[in-house]
Structure 1
Amino acid sequence: MTIERKSPTGILGFPTAPYDESGTIDEKALATNIEFLISEGLTSIFIACGSGEFHAINRKEYRTMIEVAISVAKGKVPVYTGVGGNITDALELVKLSEELGAEGYLILPPYLIEGEQEGLYNYYKTIVESSHLNAILYQRDNAILQLKTLQRLVDELPQIVGLKDGHGDMELNLAMTQTIGDRLEWLNGMPFAEITMPAYAGIGYNSYSSAMSNYVPHISRMYYNALLEGNDQLVKEIYTEVLLPINEIRKSKKGYAVSLIKAGMKIVGLPVENTVRPPVVPVSEEDYAKLENIVKSALEKYPAENKEVSNS
């Protein structure tokens, strides 16, 4: 299997983990979620990552989610998986991802421990060199690489094709993008990435993971294109009328970064319930009503081309 040493670019799709009435993965709903993202032009599918409740799914469910993603994508877009946690599990998940036909994986932080730079270097090196698949490193929580450590890893491991930043240290980000340049693809992975994308776009981050693309992808695309084209007025309108109000809800409770996606999908008629696994909490009725008003107003001003999905 020949894999191009290039990270996905543009707007990256992160499906959810929809559950049925018995609380298990709803494969049909997951397939619909992925089909929707691909049909709306998202460039890739990152399955069983943060939005897909990586922290809460078991190994069988993980396998099922990847199998569904590979089956639906059919090679039209690359499929990346989430791996991480303790190093033994991470290595097993990389092997499974490779067996099932994924093109690469996103490395989530190690479990609990905040390691020294040498420890993080060894963690990433052990995982990446175990496979020929493409690897994307994720800056967040207890896994923050400094410039020298990242440089060392990318010099030694051609499998590393990108870095996703969910930390927000712009001084560090600038040092990395200016030093390492186009050796890596720079992905904005901040919570609700559209909110910070105007700042990230100016320092070399041309791609981002989009939670809202699970329910209003055309608005995310419109916003992204406006950023690239320098349409400041449209950027400002979408930012103040859609992004900021949604972000205010997202910030109001821990875990809403996951559950708010499912609420948005339910609002636009996609087959997913407002259910998540502990410790994440579902969106409250009050916040659901707020999100519904925002989404409906946004769809009135920026109507989707896919009327069937929007109005169902």
Structure 2
Amino acid sequence: MYQGTEVDVVTRLRDGMARGVLSFPLTSFRADGGLDRDGYRDYLAAQAATAPGALFPACGTGEFFSLDEDEYREVVTAAVAAAADGRLPVVAGIGYGWAQAARFARIAEQAGADAALVLPHYLVRGPQDGLVEQLRKVAGATRLPLIAYQRDQVAYSAASVRRIAQLPGVIGLKDGHGDLDLVQRQRLAAPEGFLFFNGAATAEIQARQYASIGVSAYSSAVHAFAPEIADAFFAAHRDGDDAAVERLLRGFYVPLVELRDRVPGYAVSLVKAAARLRGKPVGPVRPPLTEPGPDDLADLEALLADGLDLVGATA
């Protein structure tokens, strides 16, 4: 199914997925909304030092939707530099309509990314033939291996996954819907070796359920602000330490989800606020996202302290 550089990228991603969580770095902005280049480089270095399975810059957590093309180039270039000469695979987010996604893919390719994550297109829903054709057009415009991302208005049928898995350059699928029946059918329809990722919001909540159908890799927004917690959960989950998994779910992850669900956009805003509480130079979010209010910020700070205490309890 794969050939050339695709084989190398798939192998490196699979090895990384077995080693640690997938890091989706935040993008650092200044108080005036501009890109904080120095802060971003420092933050990326800290993320890379925790040895995640891969770096996914300029994706949802990284506010891809608010970056212009020049900023995007800088963000991906910095991530490639932080990856230590290819030590970590770098998978850059691309998206919008296929023509814009192709432009971003070419920028990511020039910046040295190893692959691209194709975020859902803008606004409209399309039939299955259209979803497949959109991915075909993006794949035909870049040499980067592609991972399709289904969430919101994008959901592939099992038959469509069989088709996209045959497209040159398409190496995997990230699921953000959490429909395990669909993911199981997609996985069984795809050829052996096609990559699948759990990309559900706060993916640790469903990590055991996804693993039960053969999808063990997942992205972790928590890793963006508390890699100690994310890594502790990953190790407990990998090692079958159900008691530790339960403690972290009950004491940290479930309360985090409840806090996240209070306001639209908190899936990113809370993550950035938590990173700032840890002293990370990530700055504010850009509109249309908003910062957490004082009460929510106080709850976040208390929850973060609880989570870090739990990591000590599971060590």
Instruction: Please classify the TM superposition score into its range, dividing by the shorter chain length.
Output: over 0.9
Paired position in structure 2 for 1:151: 162
Output one character per residue of 1:172-203: Cα deviation in whole Å (capped at 9) or x when no partner.
Answer: 11111233264212111111111111211111
Output one character per residue of 1:2-50: Cα deviation in whole Å (capped at 9) or x when no partner.
Answer: 4514045241111112111321111122112211221112111111110
Map residues 195-274 of structure 1 onto 2, 5 A cutoff: 195-273=205-283
How many Å apart are 1:80 and its aligned residue? 1.0
Q: Name the amino acid aligned to 2:162.
A: Q
Cα distance in 2 for partners of 1:298, 1:122 equals: 44
How many Å apart are 1:303 and its aligned residue? 4.2
Q: Name the amino acid aligned to 1:173.
A: V
Do 2:139 and 2:167's aligned partners in 1 also have CA atoms closer than 8 Å? no
Do 1:66 and 1:81's aligned partners in 2 also have CA atoms closer than 8 Å? yes
Q: TM-score, normalised by structure 2?
A: 0.92
Cα distance in 2 for partners of 1:176, 1:183 equals: 13
Aligned residues: 302
Q: Tell me the secondary structure at the aligned position of residue 196 of structure 1.
A: helix
Q: Say which of 109, 118, 140 aligns to 2:120.
A: 109
Cα distance in 2 for partners of 1:39, 1:177 equals: 32
How many Å apart are 1:111 and its aligned residue? 1.2
Do 1:259 and 1:281's aligned partners in 2 also have CA atoms closer than 8 Å? yes
The 4+ residue runs of structure 1 with deviation greater than 4 A are: none
Paired position in structure 2 for 1:309: none
Map residues 76-115 of structure 1 onto 2, 5 A cutoff: 76-115=87-126
Map residues 18-29 of structure 1 onto 2, 5 A cutoff: 18-29=28-39
Q: Is 1:136 paired with 2:118?
A: no
Paired position in structure 1 for 2:305: 296
Do 2:251 and 2:310's aligned partners in 1 also have CA atoms closer than 8 Å? no
Q: TM-score, normalised by structure 1?
A: 0.92
Cα distance in 2 for partners of 1:2, 1:140 equals: 27
Do 2:59 and 2:92's aligned partners in 1 also have CA atoms closer than 8 Å? yes
Do 2:159 and 2:189's aligned partners in 1 also have CA atoms closer than 8 Å? no
Output one character per residue of 1:83-122: Cα deviation in whole Å (capped at 9) or x when no partner.
Answer: 1101211111111111111100000111111011011110
Q: Name the amino acid aligned to 2:128.
A: Q
Distance 1:303 1:234, change over 3 A: closer
Do 1:33 and 1:214's aligned partners in 2 also have CA atoms closer than 8 Å? no
Paired position in structure 1 for 2:201: 191
Paired position in structure 2 for 1:14: 24
Paired position in structure 1 for 2:61: 51
Distance 1:21 1:281, change over 3 A: closer
Cα distance in 2 for partners of 1:141, 1:152 equals: 21
Cα distance in 1 for partners of 2:291, 2:41 equals: 22
Q: Tell me the secondary structure at the aligned position of residue 237 of structure 1.
A: helix
Do 1:34 and 1:45's aligned partners in 2 also have CA atoms closer than 8 Å? no
How many Å apart are 1:298 and its aligned residue? 2.1
Cα distance in 1 for partners of 2:47, 2:53 equals: 9
Cα distance in 1 for partners of 2:93, 2:41 equals: 18
Map residues 25-36 of structure 1 onto 2, 5 A cutoff: 25-36=35-46
Q: Name the amino acid aligned to 1:279.
A: P
Cα distance in 1 for partners of 2:250, 2:74 equals: 39
Q: Tell me the secondary structure at the aligned position of residue 218 of structure 2.
A: strand
Paired position in structure 1 for 2:182: 172
Q: Is 1:127 paired with 2:127?
A: no
Cα distance in 1 for partners of 2:253, 2:5 equals: 39
Q: Is 1:118 paired with 2:129?
A: yes
Cα distance in 2 for partners of 1:206, 1:41 equals: 18
Gaps of 5+ in 2: none
Q: Tell me the secondary structure at the aligned position of residue 136 of structure 1.
A: strand
Gaps of 5+ in 1: 305-312
Cα distance in 2 for partners of 1:169, 1:298 equals: 28
Cα distance in 1 for partners of 2:5, 2:219 equals: 25
Q: Tell me the secondary structure at the aligned position of residue 62 of structure 2.
A: coil
Q: Name the amino acid aligned to 2:102.
A: L
Q: Name the amino acid aligned to 2:119.
A: L
Q: Tell me the secondary structure at the aligned position of residue 56 of structure 2.
A: strand
Q: Tell me the secondary structure at the aligned position of residue 105 of structure 1.
A: strand
CA-atom RMSD, angstroms?
1.6
